[in-house]
Structure 1
Amino acid sequence: MRKIVSSMAVLICAVASAAEPPAQPAPPTPPAIMARVSQKPVALSDLPAPREFVTHHRTKIRGKALSYTATAGETYITNIAGEPIARFFSFSYMSDEPRDAGRPVMFVFNGGPGSASLWLHMGVLGPQRVALDQEVNPSNTPPFGVNDNAFSVLDVADLVFIDPVGTGFSRAAGNAVDTDFASVDADADSVARFIEAWLTKYGRWNSPKYLVGESYGTIRAAVLPRALMGGPMYNGVMRGITVDGVILVAPGFDVGVPPDPNAPDPATLALPSLAVTAWYHNKIDRKGLSAVQFYDEVKTFAATEYAVALGKQGSGALSDTEKQSLALKLHDYTGLPVDAWMRADLRIPKNEFRKQLLASQGLEVGAYDSRYTLPLAGSGGDPVADDPAMTRYVPGFVAAFNMMLRDHLKVTMPVAYSPITFSLAFTWDFSRVSGLPKGQSFAVDLATAMRRTPALRVMVTSGYYDMGATPAGSQSQVERGGLPLERVTFKNYESGHMLYLGGTAERFADDVRTFVLAGNSR
């Protein structure tokens, strides 16, 4: 992947009391969006006025009536030279009830990279929600519906759904191009600039602030506190914005970084998810256990007996008898034959498992949600469009969102809304700006933010049927990142990557609501 090189240096001034000042580290290379220099500068006055659509609504949340104002529209952000570089499109929902500037505000985004925010928007947090014929294995052909969302958290916080540059209706502006933002730190810095502008526009600098990110959005949420605070060794500006809480939905902090030699064996972190998938599809003896009880049992086995056996096998110390005994236990937990585990040397990758578990029925299970199935035959091999989960629920979400845009928010734009722009993911630069250690987990960014802000709390949420960001894997990444665990809450749900599908939306929303209210009570 290409590395974006800045064309402007950051000047760092240091004051030293000693007669011989200590050596200073080399100035960092700030994200390109801060430093783009144009031969022909563009001013805000050169661009059309930002579009804005304001509507007023009344709904009922948790049985209580609520009036709110929805503002869908564009916000220009500028670089350090004052040139406009992007127009962010966002959806802001603010309660009309009497309030002061201390009402919490929640900034919400999805992942990708290259995804717009409609998933969290329409799936669980926004005031309207997609209506599918069923939430697991739904029909992916019309009709689809939109309902008022009785689970929305708008009752406890104002909501701002952010579409990063290149997604939704958000685009680069002036002399910038969308790919200028296709890197970890440039993306985070641009979102920080949007948040800064939003707080100023609505006079919300004194509000408790929460970040909610899903999938790659959890990396953005981990890096954003650094960009919001700012500093000479990161982006060369001082914004001084802190956040009260970060909510991580299906986190994956080790994406784009080298493997951690101190991490548990990946097979041990994956096994509980393989097992609970077999439990769901009735391919094993459940022994009267619930999905959660079964998952916890296998998680303990994986971290102890399975981990020890894999370690012995790696050193050549595992006997044939021990291997056979372990393969039998793996069969009991996953439903796959003993000889399959023996041939695979006790390690069956998640993608292979997904094809083998229901092969006798001619089915494969989903990567994003292993409760979903599609026929094994006829797959086009696309990791998203042919995934049994994504291909089933995406059409309903997209249709419902576009209906809400037109009928509820009265938004009219000259271009189509882009739910996911994969070209951004293909060019995404995971390397960091200079001044940050190479290859560190993004969880370390969040640990740094928690050190800087002692009141910052984190909630980590995962789905048992998520075969990508597994609960065990996510918890391991957070623990290894050095976060103060007394301020971290872990929540798991009987769902997949979009862990608010399949009857879990109400519980997830209530957990978010409780998290916010706990912050208000401090």
Structure 2
Amino acid sequence: MPTPRQFVTKRRVSIRGKPVEYTATAGETIVSNLANEPIASIFSFAYVRSNPGNAKRPVLFIFNGGPGSSSIWLHMGIFGPRRLVLDSEVNPSNTPPFGLQDNPYSLLDIADLVFIDPVGTGYSHAVGNARNEDFYGVDEDAESIARFIELWLTKNGRWNSPKYLVGESYGSIRAAVLSRALMGGVTYTGVMRGITLDGVILLGVALNAGVVAPPDAPRPNGPDPSAVTSLPSLAVTAWYHNRIARGGRDAGAIYAEATAFAKRDYADALARLGAGTLPEAEKLAIAQRLSDLTGLPAEAWLKAGLRMSVQAYGKQLLAPSNQEVGMYDSRYTLPLALSGGDPVSDDPAMGRYVPGFVASFHDMLKELKVDMPVPYGSIVWEGLNPKWNWVRAGVPAGQNFAGDLAIAMRRNPRLRVLSASGYYDMVTTPNQAEKDLRGSGAAPDRVFFRNYESGHMLYLGGTARLFADDVRAFVLDQLPPQGR
């Protein structure tokens, strides 16, 4: 095997008005299987504060989602010591030049940061007799990251440091699964690592994604529950774009109002509609209430059978002005016509901010003197995401990924979870995150929910400082149980 590449620089950043000196280590870690055969080179970016007391400083292990995404978004958007600068908080230009500056919101002053790129993303890849495809699955991916974390703790002498996982989107699933894989056991992983966590931080929470039900499972009765959990996101989107009467309500108030209606009257109406027992007069009244909340005519809701996907809504809300709203952040817009239909490149949000992230990241690579012979895979879809193995070993079929967190919290009475969501995120909604976590049986006094006036990347659009302050308070165990 070639010698793993390592790029080490000494740097300084100003955080909350104070200088922080640190060592940046970008490089490869060779991960082996239980037979001690090399199987993967996992690339990471570690930022460790220059401090003799580092052995007991908290460590945050950070990754994004996809599956197929590198850690570039959390790296450049909120946690890393250097941060992307866009020319506008919402609907920025997606052509250069883009800015790069010290990140005043980084947590490097109180915790060390390790950004991990799973196999198939970034510079990470299979080695030896292994193939990248060997890691494309829920258990396979989590096991490789668990082995990386175990090696990093050993190499850096950090076994007694408080440990946190930070995962966004599919990364929230990875974090939930890792909370069990790091402990290990006879029936799950087959290895008892004994690594416990102090906290798990979830963003763009997707704990209900990809769950594989047993073949003989009965089909659920009633309407698609996503119609209920997504309705508040439609309402707050209409509020933002001035398609409904605001009446002095802010985004949080309209979201709460729509949530109350969705959970009671709307859910009941959909159930009776499915059973054929909803009177026509009540159907008309529900359609009108939906119109008042979402800005679409009651006729549109009646035509849709009182159910509307977020994709259909995103194309209809601003159709009179020939605009489409983003799924990843519904504050963003692009022309409705001439879309190429790509779920990422043609999304009004992702298509706007991805180029800035990628460009600023490559500027940062120069600062860190990283010189790799292959391109960095920011998002790698082809051959990875469509092949993902969602079937798991040692876990009951159909178990929600929030169940992994609940089990880990039962084993570890000190484990806390922060669930962070954006009101304008139409892909992973705040209500779905809360439903999954509350329904898992996880200790309610150790699960903290926070919602922000942002989208899937909830640190964009003016909310970076607020979110960073909440994470800081969470790591310091000072976050109040109730909040936004």
TM-score by length of 2: 0.96
Q: Amino acid of the residue matched to residue 163 of structure 1?
A: D
CA contact (8 A) 2:172 2:207 kept: yes
Matched, 1:150 2:104: yes
1:452 matched to which residue of 2? Answer: 411
Determine which of 370, 388, 392 is the counterpart of 1:428.
388
Mean Cα deviation higher: 353-362 or 250-259: 250-259
Q: Quote the offset at 1:265 in angstroms.
A: 2.4
Inter-partner Cα distance in structure 2 for 1:410 and 1:241: 33
1:322-341 Cα shifts (integer Å, max 9, x gaps): 11111111111111011111
Inter-partner Cα distance in structure 2 for 1:460 and 1:97: 30
Matched, 1:131 2:131: no
Task: Count residues in correspondence.
Answer: 472
Q: Amino acid of the residue matched to residue 44 of structure 2?
A: S
Inter-partner Cα distance in structure 1 for 2:181 and 2:266: 41
Query: How do 1:7-156 and structure 2 match up within 5 A?
Result: 47-156=1-110
Segments of 5+ residues of structure 2 without an aligned counterpart are 214-218, 480-484
* Secondary structure of residue in 2 paired with 1:229: coil
1:402 matched to which residue of 2? Answer: 362
* Secondary structure of residue in 1 paired with 2:158: coil
1:22 matched to which residue of 2? Answer: none
Inter-partner Cα distance in structure 1 for 2:105 and 2:179: 27
Query: How do 1:367-406 and structure 2 match up within 5 A?
Result: 367-406=327-366
Inter-partner Cα distance in structure 1 for 2:309 and 2:478: 41
Q: Quote the offset at 1:176 in angstroms.
A: 0.5
Q: Quote the offset at 1:136 in angstroms.
A: 0.9
Matched, 1:468 2:422: no
Query: How do 1:481-500 and structure 2 match up within 5 A?
Result: 481-500=440-459
1:352-388 Cα shifts (integer Å, max 9, x gaps): 0000000000010001000000011110111111100
* Secondary structure of residue in 2 paired with 1:518: coil
Q: Quote the offset at 1:135 in angstroms.
A: 2.2
Q: Quote the offset at 1:97 in angstroms.
A: 2.9
Inter-partner Cα distance in structure 1 for 2:424 and 2:179: 30
Q: Amino acid of the residue matched to residue 391 of structure 1?
A: G
Inter-partner Cα distance in structure 1 for 2:126 and 2:54: 34
2:276 matched to which residue of 1? Answer: 316
Inter-partner Cα distance in structure 1 for 2:212 and 2:68: 22
Q: Quote the offset at 1:258 in angstroms.
A: 4.8
Matched, 1:337 2:297: yes
Inter-partner Cα distance in structure 1 for 2:401 and 2:369: 38
Q: Quote the offset at 1:180 in angstroms.
A: 0.3
CA contact (8 A) 1:244 1:519 kept: no
Matched, 1:161 2:120: no
CA contact (8 A) 1:152 1:509 kept: yes
1:280 matched to which residue of 2? Answer: 240
Inter-partner Cα distance in structure 2 for 1:135 and 1:311: 40
Query: How do 1:201-350 and structure 2 match up within 5 A?
Result: 201-258=155-212, 261=220, 265-350=225-310
* Secondary structure of residue in 2 paired with 1:205: coil
Inter-partner Cα distance in structure 2 for 1:519 and 1:507: 15
CA contact (8 A) 2:212 2:391 kept: no
Mean Cα deviation higher: 339-348 or 118-127: 339-348
CA contact (8 A) 1:66 1:97 kept: no
Matched, 1:417 2:371: no
Inter-partner Cα distance in structure 1 for 2:284 and 2:92: 40
Measured at CA, do residues 485 and 294 of structure 1 come closer, stay the same or move farther in structure 2, by a change above 3 Å? same
Rg comparison, structure with higher value: 1
Mean Cα deviation higher: 259-268 or 393-402: 259-268
Question: What is the alpha-carbon root mean square deviation over aligned residues?
Answer: 1.4
1:515 matched to which residue of 2? Answer: 474
Inter-partner Cα distance in structure 2 for 1:314 and 1:181: 41
CA contact (8 A) 1:272 1:302 kept: yes
Q: Amino acid of the residue matched to residue 133 of structure 2?
A: T
Measured at CA, do residues 250 and 381 of structure 1 come closer, stay the same or move farther in structure 2, by a change above 3 Å? same
Inter-partner Cα distance in structure 1 for 2:478 and 2:281: 54
Matched, 1:197 2:156: no
Q: Amino acid of the residue matched to residue 147 of structure 1?
A: Q
* Secondary structure of residue in 2 paired with 1:55: strand
1:410-455 Cα shifts (integer Å, max 9, x gaps): 101101100011021111000001x221121111011111011110
Q: Amino acid of the residue matched to residue 450 of structure 1?
A: M
TM-score by length of 1: 0.89
2:321 matched to which residue of 1? Answer: 361
Inter-partner Cα distance in structure 1 for 2:220 and 2:449: 24
How many percent of aligned residue pairs carry the same amino acid?
62
Inter-partner Cα distance in structure 1 for 2:378 and 2:405: 27
CA contact (8 A) 1:370 1:465 kept: yes
Q: Amino acid of the residue matched to residue 432 of structure 1?
A: R
CA contact (8 A) 1:188 1:227 kept: yes
Segments of 5+ residues of structure 1 without an aligned counterpart are 1-46
Inter-partner Cα distance in structure 1 for 2:166 and 2:139: 18
Q: Amino acid of the residue matched to residue 333 of structure 1?
A: L
Q: Quote the offset at 1:519 in angstroms.
A: 7.5
Q: Quote the offset at 1:205 in angstroms.
A: 0.2
* Secondary structure of residue in 1 paired with 2:476: helix
